[in-house]
Amino acid sequence: MRRTPSPDGRTAPVAAPYDVRLLLTDAERTEAGALVEDRLRWLGLRGLPLPVRSGGPELDRQTRRAPGEAAGLFEDDVLLACLILDPEPDLAPWGRAGSGPSLFLSRVHTLPAYPVDVLCLITLWASDHAARLGLPCVRAEAPVRRDLGSDPIRPVLDRLQDMGWAIRSTGKGTVDERVARLEIAAESRPGLTALINCGVPLPSRPVLYSSGRCNW
């Protein structure tokens, strides 16, 4: 946490500008549902692929079934993104590309047209959180409808690759739709707390796995 001089000359802690925390209240879940609907509307107007079963009601069902896995990225209590975290995912549809342990991000939705690169903030936080969980990588999916070279989502995938994400393969995803399977290595970032405060608790028991590496 950063510190700044206070009026009495002492240094006082300055809160990080961003915060990732669990969505535990009805109000937070309602806000997340509204963000999802806004995002889907924004995607539809631009002819971009819409995720299967990803609307507000579906997110609400997900968060109510596993409330400890739903999280949001906030700036001054404004919700910038919502997502589902799964430290022990079943990625059988990925085949070999999904073997080994990972932190899986699903139903990732960001506030449309926000001036901050929210995907970059999520990437930084998720790779650090995976490292603190003792997991070797983070995985996610992006819906695609065509060959990657001509798919409307290509610019987004290019941005993700610039951030360090690798496109492992394309094929069936976890909700029976065609996706690009994405992966990035976990990376401990001790200084990240000055930028993003983490309110997602670590599990009371360690996440155990048999392999220590992602399949690059």
pLDDT digits (tens, 9 = 90+) for 158-209: 999 999 999 999 999 988 888 999 999 999 999 999 999 999 998 765 554 4
Give 3-state DSSP helix, strand, coil % of the chain, rounded to 5.
Answer: 30, 30, 40
- Cα atoms in the 13 Å half-sphere on the side-chain side of 75: 13
pLDDT digits (tens, 9 = 90+) for 9-42: 555 557 899 999 999 999 999 999 999 999 899 8
Is residue 210's pLDDT more than 70?
Answer: no
- Cα atoms in the 13 Å half-sphere on the side-chain side of 106: 25
List the one residue out of 30, 54, 29, 57 whose CA is nearest residue 40: 54
Is residue 155's pLDDT more than 60?
Answer: yes
The model's pTM is 0.82
List the one residue out of 138, 51, 60 whose CA is nearest residue 101: 138
